[in-house]
Amino acid sequence: MLLAVVPAVAQQYKYEVGPALGMTGYLGESNNGNLFKHPSFTVGGIFRYNHNSRWAFKANLNYANLRGDSMYDESWYPDGANYKFTSNLIDVGFTAEFNFLNYGRGPAYKKYKPISPYMVAGVGFVFAMCDGHNQASFTIPLGIGVKYKLKEKVNLGFEFTMRKEFSDRIDGYSDLFDIKHSFAKNTDWYSFAMFTASFEFGKRCIKCNYIE
């Protein structure tokens, strides 16, 4: 009997899909200091297209809760008023990711790494519901993250992003100091610190059959 041993070649996949869970933070009229003074939650999902080992493009859909309370802020508000709110968000984002290392598993000559930090930037849209008032605006997500390939098709990740939104009303307040906001000048930011798990599918065409 003749036994042939053939080295296994890790498959490469083009797409990922999976859930996301994390914590939100807020900066604005009701909190202009500590980002996580009044943390809340976010849940959602991601869809990622892996262009290559360095670049990926991701779409996300999140449902999030934001909270703020100006009672303990160092700033003084007109008439000594206290501004407190709870807001629910539907957040949609389209971002590009740049991996600092060749992320993935594969032949040694390609120098793949099962873990890589990355940076992310893109555009988005948020729909906010606060105290019976609805507000929609564009956003700019910016952040950093890290990915880890647990198995051939399974990835784990953590990502922190800040979202700049352009309505100045996701907290229900605007122009408290009689300084008029504009599209580019306002005070509202929110953040996501999220853990993700994703499953890969859609085999990539093999361009080289070389096996070490």
Are the C-beta atoms of residues 34 and 6 closer than 8 Å to each other? Answer: no
Q: What is the pLDDT of residues 89-134, one digit of tens each?
A: 999 999 999 999 999 987 777 789 999 999 999 999 999 998 778 8
Are the C-beta atoms of residues 77 and 176 closer than 8 Å to each other? Answer: yes
**76 three-class SS:** coil
Q: How far is CA 94 from CA 31, 45, 72, 100, 205, in A?
A: 27, 12, 35, 20, 25
Q: What is the pLDDT of residues 33-42, one digit of tens each?
A: 778 888 899 9
CA atoms of 164 and 7, how far apart (whole Å)? 48
CA dihedral (23, 63, 139, 121) positive or negative: positive
Question: If 0-12 CB within 10 Å is exposed, 13-18 middle and 19+ buried, where does residue 1 land?
Answer: exposed
CA atoms of 176 and 202, how far apart (whole Å)? 51
pLDDT value, residue 78: 61
The CATH class, in words, for 15-203 is: mainly beta
pLDDT band at residue 173 under the 50/70/90 scheme: low
Domain ranges of the chain: 15-203
Q: Two tokens at 127?
A: 């729909």
Which residues pair with residue 189 across a beta bridge? 27, 164
Q: Two tokens at 52?
A: 């290559």
pTM for this entry: 0.82
**Tokens 């953040």 sit at which residue?**
191
Number of other residues whose CB lies within 10 A of the CB of residue 106: 14
Q: What is the pLDDT of residues 124-165, one digit of tens each?
A: 999 999 877 888 989 999 999 999 999 989 999 999 999 998
CA atoms of 76 and 55, how far apart (whole Å)? 46
- Select the more confidently predicted residue: 190 or 187: 190
- Select the more confidently predicted residue: 30 or 204: 204
pLDDT value, residue 140: 95
Which residues pair with residue 58 across a beta bridge? 48, 95
Percentage of the chain lying above the pLDDT 70 cut = 78
Mean pLDDT lowest among 8-12, 45-49, 99-103, 146-150: 8-12
Q: Give the list of residues 6+ apart from residue 107 with CB closer than 8 angstroms, or none.
A: 9, 210, 211, 212
